[in-house]
Structure 1
Amino acid sequence: MIKSVLLGATLALAPLTVAAQQVTLTSETTTPGSTPHYIDSTLAAVLDSTGVATLQITEGATLTNSVQAVAEGRLDMAPAPLILPFLLSRGIGPYSGVGPDKGAELAANLRVIFFNAGSAQMLGYYNSNPIEDIRDMSGKRIWNGPPRGAALTSGRAMIQLLSGLKDGEGYEGVQSAWPDAVSTITGGGVDAWTIPEGLPSGREITIASAGGITIHDVPSDLLASKLGQQILKAPGHAPYSVPIEDFRNAYAGNDITVVVDDDSFDSFATAFGQIVPAGMDEQLVYDIVTAFLEGEERFLTGSPRGPFARISFGDIDGVSQGACGAVQIKMHPGAIRAYEAAGHTIADYLRP
């Protein structure tokens, strides 16, 4: 992992007395080029420029570990795919070693300060080695995520939805750590890949630089099927739909073909919540979220992916954010106060 302190020029020019008042917080995030990394790096700049806090970020983290670190109080903040608090609360999946009792205790120590759902699951392959029928991927080698965690769960769900196959039963799933994902794919060791991607995805653009690629959404009949609806409503997922022209325009100038069966790119999103420990100071959280909300334009315009990141700057109903249902997670009181002070509503379900 790469550790960096993301500081703005404002701090360097500010009086020392102001700098001394800033709280230093620790955070972990994903690799550069991802939606969580963009949000976290922008948040760090916003908090720095407003004098609220200095955010020390470790990049390229495995969020499975980051979520547990926040729950244990060893880390102040992290972006959490919402399936991870769900799994932690039950002590299953990557948290099976924690156990259900301890897992429930740890999960109860997590609070969300804002949400986003900007990463849509998609399938890709090189045009030089095309998948002739995405509903028949038997015998293929498919990169479907890192060795464990939310992305792997979603990747396996995608291939099962498209072709009815399970990892190791009909196709060979290939996993590697996030920093090695692109090299694993461009190295020619797989026939296809499925990844939750923001729009536009720097990773897909990098992959396409080695040769033209095609990416697919989920066909409408499959998304509307019983399994498709189960996946849409599964813990950590949220609906995702972008007009196809907007989607294609985001990749204009790159050798990327986008295939859909209607006028939109439809899939399921990986629902995220920015998490902090439940015991974080309420006034500090209020100040953080107030700065976040006031920095909306910076988040939306600071990157081409900003308008598609689905960051929660308005009312929060819980359903749109993938946080009502099986996922049992609450918002921090300081965050609720900041949203309400800005004139927004929060679903009762999300109140602690």
Structure 2
Amino acid sequence: MFKAPIAGALLAVLPAVTFAQVTLTAETTSPGSTPHYIDTTLAGVLESAGVATLQITEGATLTNSVQAVAEGQLDMAPAPLILPFLLSRGIGPYSGVGEEQGAELASNLRALFFTAASAQIFGHYDSGAISDITELEGMRIWNGPPRGAALTSGRAAVQLLSGLQEGEGYEGIQSPWPDTVSTITGGGADGWTIPEGLPSGRQIAIASAGAITIYDMPSDLLNSELGQQIVNAPGHAPYSVPVEEVRAAYAGNDITIVTDDDTFDSFATAFAQIVPAGMDEQLAYDITSAFLAGQERFETGSPRGPYLFLSFGDVDGVSQGVCGAVNMAMHPGAIRAYEDAGHTIADCLRP
């Protein structure tokens, strides 16, 4: 009988707050990953701005998340751009969908903003079986979750490094994202290749079980015909960071960084933050406006902030990994938010 009066009294003395207008559903990858940091930071930004409450499911396989957004069953997800590309053709993990339905589903996707913060790395325990990352014959290599963009990129990385195809020269090990660290630390793989942000909490967790070495993609291989095909493949973008910054990011951990020059060079996994095409335009505008206004929070909320490569300025499409083989239009509300903030949007991104 005292609950209502007490609640009223508390509300009377609490400072005024802005309550979120809508609740949105989202899926993202496991804690420690770049998409997870971006999505959880976005949730905080949207909540603070009073735009929306973002209910996030972690540890998702983004192959499924992209399809769920396209079908209107999910409000938002980070999408490696290779996935909308494959969906639009009904191939790869979407072969069961078929070309016609895949194209229809892909046409239901719109981007709010872009990022290319996860670079493909190769790692192994210093005490393990690998001593030369170009000699992986007979090795067990963790190369991604059971399916999806990371697996495609992981297989490409091993082929670039060693010339080997999975099942023909090495054993590919896959596990769901939440099981990645335990699979590797439990001895389930001789080496691993993963798209990682900088620094990666996952690599730090792996190193807690023993000293590891992380490599970029060697320059001669990255600049080869195959290397450039991989860099320019749908869903990829170039990635280069001064190696001393990479070493500084992992200082204090048992992690050695190896490159053949002064930069850590690889290919990045290009992402779009996707929503259904039918999302209310004003809501898409408000979300994107809050994202743009939250730049400092994204860049300072984590040591990886400076390396997110989020699209806080003009969007030319090419730098974001779109306007080529990948055709990903932005939501009209997002375009309006960018333009109201003084930024330009390439015509190829307009629906």
For residues 224-283 of structure 1, the C-alpha deviation after alignment (integer angstroms, 9 at most, x for no partner) is 100000000101001000000111100000010000000000000000000000111111
Within 5 Å, which residues of 2 pair with 1:145-224?
145-224=144-223
Q: Which residue of 2 aligns with 1:100?
A: 99
One-letter code of the match for 1:143?
W
Segment of structure 1 superposing worse, 337-346 or 293-302? 337-346
For residues 313-348 of structure 1, the C-alpha deviation after alignment (integer angstroms, 9 at most, x for no partner) is 011111111112111110011111111111111111
Q: Which residue of 2 aligns with 1:137?
A: 136
Quick one: distance in 1 between partners of 2:130 and 2:155?
17
Deviation of residue 15 (structure 1)? 5.0
Quick one: distance in 1 between partners of 2:111 and 2:194?
24
Quick one: distance in 1 between partners of 2:111 and 2:233?
19
One-letter code of the match for 2:82?
I
Q: Which residue of 2 aligns with 1:90?
A: 89
Q: Which residue of 2 aligns with 1:52?
A: 51
1:304 paired with 2:311, answer no
Please say which structure displays the higher CA radius of gyration.
Answer: 2
For residues 156-192 of structure 1, the C-alpha deviation after alignment (integer angstroms, 9 at most, x for no partner) is 0000000100000111101111111111101112110
One-letter code of the match for 1:276?
V
Deviation of residue 146 (structure 1)? 0.5
Quick one: distance in 2 between partners of 1:225 and 1:263?
19
Q: Which residue of 2 aligns with 1:235?
A: 234
One-letter code of the match for 2:56?
I
Q: Which residue of 1 aligns with 2:270?
A: 271
1:255 paired with 2:254, answer yes
Q: Judging changes above 3 Å, is the alpha-carbon distance between structure 1 residues 230 and 14 closer, same or farther for their aligned structure 2 residues? A: farther
Name structure 2 gaps, 5 residues minimum.
1-13
One-letter code of the match for 1:35?
T
Q: Which residue of 1 aligns with 2:23?
A: 24
Name structure 1 gaps, 5 residues minimum.
1-12
Quick one: distance in 2 between partners of 1:130 and 1:112?
43
Q: Judging changes above 3 Å, is the alpha-carbon distance between structure 1 residues 198 and 38 closer, same or farther for their aligned structure 2 residues? A: same
Q: Residue 88 of structure 2 aligns to a residue in which SS?
A: helix
Within 5 Å, which residues of 2 pair with 1:279-298?
279-298=278-297
Q: Which residue of 2 aligns with 1:346?
A: 345
Deviation of residue 149 (structure 1)? 0.3
Quick one: distance in 1 between partners of 2:175 and 2:129?
22
Deviation of residue 32 (structure 1)? 0.9
Quick one: distance in 2 between partners of 1:160 and 1:14?
58
Quick one: distance in 1 between partners of 2:268 and 2:15?
40
One-letter code of the match for 2:332?
P
Q: Which residue of 2 aligns with 1:79?
A: 78
TM-score (norm 2): 0.95
Q: Residue 304 of structure 1 aligns to a residue in which SS?
A: coil
Quick one: distance in 2 between partners of 1:192 and 1:61?
23
Within 5 Å, which residues of 2 pair with 1:309-348?
309-348=308-347
| Count of aligned pairs between the two proteins | 338
One-letter code of the match for 1:92?
I
Deviation of residue 130 (structure 1)? 4.8
Q: Residue 114 of structure 1 aligns to a residue in which SS?
A: strand
One-letter code of the match for 1:124?
G
Within 5 Å, which residues of 2 pair with 1:60-79?
60-79=59-78
Q: Which residue of 2 aligns with 1:123?
A: 122
TM-score (norm 1): 0.94
Quick one: distance in 1 between partners of 2:28 and 2:129?
33
For residues 285-338 of structure 1, the C-alpha deviation after alignment (integer angstroms, 9 at most, x for no partner) is 111111110110000000111111111101111111111211111001111111
Deviation of residue 114 (structure 1)? 0.3
Quick one: distance in 2 between partners of 1:106 and 1:169?
34
Deviation of residue 350 (structure 1)? 0.8
1:110 paired with 2:109, answer yes
Quick one: distance in 2 between partners of 1:239 and 1:58?
29
One-letter code of the match for 1:51?
G
Quick one: distance in 2 between partners of 1:192 and 1:34?
19
Q: List 4+ stretches of structure 1 deviating above 4 A.
A: 13-16
One-letter code of the match for 1:216?
Y
